[in-house]
């Protein structure tokens, strides 16, 4: 199902530098990067993760509900699984992968979105600090 809820409500696109290069080659243009942070991977290697545009993903077409860079989209977009399962008034319910791939049904609220942004931001800052 092409719901696009994640593409429309997440705070931009997180991409590794090699993914940015691949996107730039695919679209034939430079990607406007807002912020990049150095992180240390579990393998011990160091890399950078970058944020592209805050708010709606700049590569998501709301009208067609499709990703304009589907063939080269970042790994986070490929592994994140979210399916819109229902709406009731202003409430939106999504199915996401839980532990061991079991589906969880979650009410998507702006509070959850805000908390996830804060956790993601904190995780990136923590990873950047530990890489030095």
d(CA 58, CA 74) in angstroms, rounded, equals 13
pLDDT value at residue 120: 77
Q: Among 34, 38, 67, 29, which residue's Cα sits nearest to residue 53? A: 34
pLDDT value at residue 103: 47
The list of the chain residues with pLDDT below 70 reads 1-5, 9-12, 39, 41-43, 45, 47, 49-51, 53-55, 79-113, 115, 130-132
pLDDT value at residue 124: 80
pTM of the model: 0.53
Domain that includes residue 73, residue range: 5-130
Provide the residue count of the chain: 132
Phi then psi dihedrals of residue 31, to 5 deg:
-95, 130
pLDDT value at residue 57: 80
Token readout for 14 is 């997180």
- Tally of domains within the chain: 1
């Amino acid at each position: 199902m092409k719901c696009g809820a994640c593409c429309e409500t997440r705070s931009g696109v997180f991409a590794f530098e090699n993914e940015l290069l691949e996107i730039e080659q695919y679209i034939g243009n430079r990607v406007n990067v807002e912020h990049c942070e150095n992180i240390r991977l579990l393998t011990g290697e160091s890399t950078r993760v970058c944020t592209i545009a805050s708010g709606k993903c700049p590569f998501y077409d709301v009208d067609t509900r499709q990703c304009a860079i589907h063939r080269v989209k970042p790994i986070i977009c490929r592994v994140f699984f979210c399916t819109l399962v229902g709406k009731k008034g202003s409430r939106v319910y999504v199915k996401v992968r839980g532990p061991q791939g079991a589906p969880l049904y979650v009410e998507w609220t702006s509070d959850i979105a805000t908390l996830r942004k804060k956790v993601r931001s904190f995780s990136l800052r923590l990873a950047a600090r530990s890489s030095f």
